[in-house]
Chain A
């Protein structure tokens, strides 16, 4: 069964097309990741799926309900963990969770029990009577996670759940997300622009850029679609060209020479590398350096978007101003 299904979902803000005819479906129980640079349309998609924004064109169903016509049924079966810290600064952790429970109309008896259980799960029980003001970034994020689960949603939307957290807190947050998913067996739809996060957490990933989905598959399949591993070797002989020699192996897909260093794209690198190595030694070449790397999502991303995610980060100042402009346009 498809928990989320979108059909040409589109949203324009004035002339800007934030989400451009996006169609995909999310299976029951999977963690589905939306990976893309800032401003790619991830949050806008989440806003539409969570009925905060209306689509300009196209439609989607969540838990089988139409996001346009059955918005309140959709709202009942979803949980949302927004990008921003939305917990009320002046209230305590427990008060904030109970407020969320009231928004879903959960009876008092049930909500108290669930709130304490969730606070236990995200290890905030000790701080439940402290005001949010005193919470650290990681604690706030965990509280948001707990708030998003108070109604036992069938599908939970996490918008950049680790944005702005340091590496350790990010890792810890992942483990909470995994634990919560196992505990409640729900479907997760998350957006991120951290590659390792998508790789570690997600069952399937959609890469989105400029409002369009440009690739959608499991992280491994995406990596394999690049056509194999990268073997880098350096030989002692400076003036020899062994490109054609390496290419004689049927497992080799592409060779790039740079001085006496060769970057070789191979299938099944663990087995192919020793074969090539012994062949070169037989011909009298001395290999001085050898490395083998499995493709990462970084390369996948590069392949599909034509830029590395690091380039994106370098221009984060630009992105920030773009984002502000987008926010203004949205209102």
Chain B
């Protein structure tokens, strides 16, 4: 009765089915999408607008020295004269970081509910199980980031001189790479875990350091030296810089290429480790 021969021999079979399983839950419940973008939008709308740094100079009664150009100071510090534009691009990284962080959670649930054992008893490639989680996190975060970018534009994001349609693709490419790497890391952490509490603790431990220890909200060059060291290896720094180069700054091509190289290396290294460990650790 068995007819395995007519079944697909494609090693990637099941990858889309498993990815779609995760995404279906999400797109079938628009409220989940809404909930997931409401937080970054609040950050952007309240924090970004409240920290009106440009008015430090313009809103003061202290007479400015002649020749003093507040816009130039802002531009030197932030690369753009508008702090809101600066931080709203950082918020795109925030969106990706938070979505990726929770991607490990679903593998913990699958293990607890027995779904993982069932999938493991089917001929699906072990790597597909891991990468379905990665891909669903990537798709979700790119869509969320797209919406957040649109909201940022509506709230007054000012694009830079080099902005064009291609820049948008560049932004998504950078976000894709960083999300791929970050989700791989968080799924790796969850690979052997049976308790979502552990996973929550890890997420809580890492999210703010990764966010504040980067250029997402403030330029790294003004940070103390020790923090700069951390920011230099933090992938959030590179994705944010790439996006600012594309959206706000006069694009520095060599810097942009360096950002992409770092992000691609980051994604490649951690997804490879993920693939390797999934062979080793998914079957116990």
Interface size on A, residues (CB 8 A): 46
Q: Decide if B8 touches A99 in the complex (CB within 8 Å).
A: no
Bitwise interface map of A from 65 to 80 toward B, beta carbon under 8 Å scored 1, else 0: 0000001110111101
| Shortest distance between the CB of A210 and any CB in chain B (Å) | 21
A-B contact pairs, 27 of them (CB 8 A): A50-B121, A52-B117, A52-B284, A53-B284, A73-B4, A77-B2, A80-B122, A82-B117, A83-B114, A86-B114, A90-B24, A90-B29, A91-B24, A99-B21, A102-B14, A103-B13, A103-B119, A103-B123, A103-B124, A104-B122, A105-B8, A105-B10, A106-B7, A151-B7, A152-B2, A157-B121, A327-B194
Does B35 sit at the interface, judged by CB under 8 A?
A: no
Q: Do B114 and A82 have beta carbons less than 8 Å apart?
A: yes
Q: Which residues of B contact A331 (CB under 8 A)?
A: 111, 192-194, 284
- With A53-B284, A54-B283, A86-B118 in contact, do A99 and B17 touch (Cβ < 8 Å)? yes
Contacts of B122 in A (CB 8 A): 75, 80, 100, 103-104, 151
Residue in A54, A106, A184 whose beta carbon sits within 8 Å of that of B8 in the complex: A106
CB neighbours (8 Å) of B124 from chain A are 103
Main secondary structure of the interface of A (DSSP, over half): loop
Chain B residues contacting A91 (CB-CB under 8 Å) are: 21, 24-25
**A107 located at the interface, meaning its Cβ lies under 8 Å from any Cβ of chain B in the complex:** yes
Shortest beta-carbon distance from A64 to chain B in Å: 11
**A95 at interface, CB cutoff 8 A:** yes
A58: Cβ under 8 A from any B Cβ:
no
* A residues less than 8 Å from B121 (CB atoms): 50-52, 75, 78, 80, 157
Q: Check B115–A105 contact: CB distance below 8 A.
A: no
Residue of B nearest to A154 (CB): B2
Given A53-B283, A103-B17, A104-B123, A47 and B117 touching (CB < 8 A)? yes
Q: For chain A residues 72-118, which have a beta carbon within 8 Å of chain B?
A: 72-73, 75-78, 80, 82-86, 88, 90-91, 95, 98-100, 102-107, 110
Residue of B nearest to A185 (CB): B1
Q: Is B1's CB under 8 angstroms from A152's CB?
A: yes
Q: How far is the CB of B280 from chain A (nearest CB, A)?
A: 11
* Chain B facing A: main interface SS: loop
Report A-chain residues with C-beta under 8 Å of the C-beta of B114.
82-86
- Chain B residues contacting A71 (CB-CB under 8 Å) are 283
How far is it, in angstroms, between the C-alpha of A24 and the C-alpha of B16 when the chains are bound? 39
Please pick, from B1, B13, B283, the residue contacting A52 in the complex, using a CB distance under 8 A: B283
Q: A126 contacts the other chain (Cβ, under 8 Å)?
A: no
Q: Is A330 an interface residue (CB 8 A)?
A: yes
Q: Are A151 and B4 in contact (CB under 8 A)?
A: yes
Give 10 closest A-B pairs by Cβ, nearest first.
Answer: A84-B114, A105-B8, A102-B17, A105-B13, A76-B4, A50-B121, A103-B122, A75-B123, A154-B2, A80-B121
Which residues, 117 to 135 on B, are CB-close (under 8 Å) to A? 117-124
Closest to B119 in A: A103
Asked if A153 contacts B117 (CB within 8 A), the reply is: no
Contact B123 A105 (CB under 8 A): yes
Measured between beta carbons, the chain A residues less than 8 angstroms from B28 are 90
How far, in Å, is A148 (CB) from chain B's closest CB? 9
Q: Is the CB of B17 within 8 A of A77?
A: no
B123 with A54: CB separation less than 8 A: no
Please provide the chain B residues from 6 to 32 with a CB less than 8 Å away from any CB of chain A in the complex: 6-10, 13-14, 16-18, 21, 24-25, 28-29
A35 CB within 8 Å of chain B: no
Contact B123 A72 (CB under 8 A): yes
Contact of B24 among A95, A152, A328 (CB under 8 A): A95
Which residues does chain A contribute within 8 Å of B21, judged by CB atoms? 88, 91, 99
Q: When the two chains form their complex, are residues B6 and A107 in contact, meaning their CB atoms are under 8 A apart?
A: yes
0/1 string, B166-210, CB within 8 A of A gives 1:
000000000000000000000000001110000000000000000
On whether A105 and B9 interact (CB within 8 A), knowing A51-B283, A77-B4, A90-B25, the answer reads yes
CA distance A86 to B122 in the complex (A): 14
Known: A80-B121, A90-B25, A104-B14. 20 other contacts (CB 8 A): A47-B117, A53-B283, A71-B283, A73-B4, A75-B123, A82-B117, A85-B113, A86-B117, A90-B24, A102-B18, A103-B119, A106-B7, A107-B8, A110-B6, A151-B2, A151-B4, A151-B122, A331-B192, A331-B193, A331-B284
